[in-house]
Structure 1
Amino acid sequence: MIKTFLLLCLAAVSLCSWAQTGKPHFVAKPSDKSVLGSQKVVTHSLSIARAPDQVYHYKNAAGVVVFSDRPPETGHYQVRIYDCYACKPSSNINWQSIPLYTQQYKEEIQLAATTYSIEAALIRAVIHAESAFKPAALSRTGAQGLMQLMPVTAKELGVTDAFKPSQNIAAGSRYLAQLLQRFDGDITLACAAYNAGASRVDQYRGVPPFPETKAYVERVNILLQRYRKT
């Protein structure tokens, strides 16, 4: 009992320490509510101290939905992104040369760009940074789909299925357009707000000093410049 209590205390201290230095986009707990509804869910091998880069989502032999940091030995599974794709400061990806997604969701992106008067290249750059164009992407906080919409934001924007590309792109682009308007068209600040929250940008009067947000903003800008040339 004493050993268990000490371990729980250490986990709590670690989590509190993270909370003081991290940004709101990350919470050390996976969410499945908006995806699986009332289905029975099993999570295993996911510890507070070690958050995997990928989560494997599948049904086991008993028909139970499982989230794990390891793929099943047999059968079908889906990979869920656990963090936003471009947020990891230690990423060794070369963002200047990583292959671009120039053909995916062309109609949806162009429609959103026209509707909300923002660059199609910016929408594409944000999608790339958020989910690497994986429509089933799911973050630790429950952010969903291509543009990683939080459930509350998605609901406010009228989204009924955040994993449906057309709805996700339309809502994410609308939200991005609102942020651009709020920050007088400043793409860097709008992207920082998309990642860390508009109130944090206001609080710090610029890009918040979170390593994840700084990395995210830099990489979105790199991707934007590249997508503008395609």
Structure 2
Amino acid sequence: MRKPIRHIPILKPGTWMAVVLILLLALPAAADIYMYIDSQGVMHFTNVPTSSDYRVYIKERPKRQGTQMDANRFDRYIDEAAGLHGLDFPLIKAVIRAESAFDPKAVSKKGALGLMQIMPANLEAFRVYDPFDPWQNIMGGARYLKALIQRFDGQVPLALAAYNAGPRAVDTYRGIPPIPETEAYVKKVMKFFYLYKNG
């Protein structure tokens, strides 16, 4: 059984309506995430709608075969985020490649959004108001990555594990959690990191 995404407040409806309409018209079919705005103006997200109040928010894009996103199209944003947050350009780019393969409209099955796959519950904390805006998503993801690197005393593999599995999991195991997905994720990002660093 699919677990519903946590319902969270994001923004007042006036700010989002135009963005939502544009996104809904632009994306291909394959419904995935639903949203409704309550009487207090609070946005609620879920992947398992529990009432008719929910409307499709964004449809998960089917994976395209034989096509690749332009790996360099967001370099100026990555460079800006690296300078602003004191991170290595190759590291941010490696995370984006592993998370979304440079697809700014990527939506995971767990509901993570955009280039750096930010969960809806974290958008406000990361100062991301439109998760499908490449600049905002990269800035928000880089801000979080920097905080994790600081939390784990500059140990990038631990920060990456926390980015994937959450910092509590890393704290609990005092290292990279023995979760196959997380172990594979850290190896993948580090591989891309060295590829971009030495490329």
TM-score, normalising length: structure 2: 0.69
Structure with more contact order per residue of length (Cα contacts < 8 Å, sep ≥ 6): 1
- Structure 2 unaligned residues grouped into runs of 5+: 11-15, 22-26, 33-58
Show the 5 A alignment for 1:207-226. 207-226=176-195
* Pick aligned residue for 1:127 from 76, 87, 96: 96
CA separation of 1:78 and 1:142: change in aligned 2, threshold 3 A? closer
Partner of 1:118: 87
Which whole-Å CA distance do the structure 2 matches of 1:156 and 1:111 have between them? 20
Which whole-Å CA distance do the structure 2 matches of 1:123 and 1:229 have between them? 15
- Number of residue-to-residue matches in the alignment: 155
- Structure 1 unaligned residues grouped into runs of 5+: 1-14, 16-27, 40-55, 59-65, 69-76, 82-98
Which whole-Å CA distance do the structure 2 matches of 1:136 and 1:30 have between them? 20
- Aligned pair 1:140/2:122, yes or no? no
CA separation of 1:78 and 1:153: change in aligned 2, threshold 3 A? closer
Which whole-Å CA distance do the structure 2 matches of 1:163 and 1:216 have between them? 22
1:78 CA displacement: 6.8
Partner of 1:183: 152
The superposition leaves residues 128-149 of structure 1 with CA deviations (integer Å, 9 ceiling, x where unpaired) of: 0001111111112211000000
The superposition leaves residues 188-229 of structure 1 with CA deviations (integer Å, 9 ceiling, x where unpaired) of: 000000000000000000000110000000111101000102
1:101 CA displacement: 5.7
**CA RMSD between the two structures:** 2.9
The percentage of counterpart residues that share the same residue type is: 43
Show the 5 A alignment for 1:32-181. 57-58=28-29, 66-67=30-31, 79-80=61-62, 102-181=71-150
Amino acid at match of 2:171: D
Amino acid at match of 1:79: R
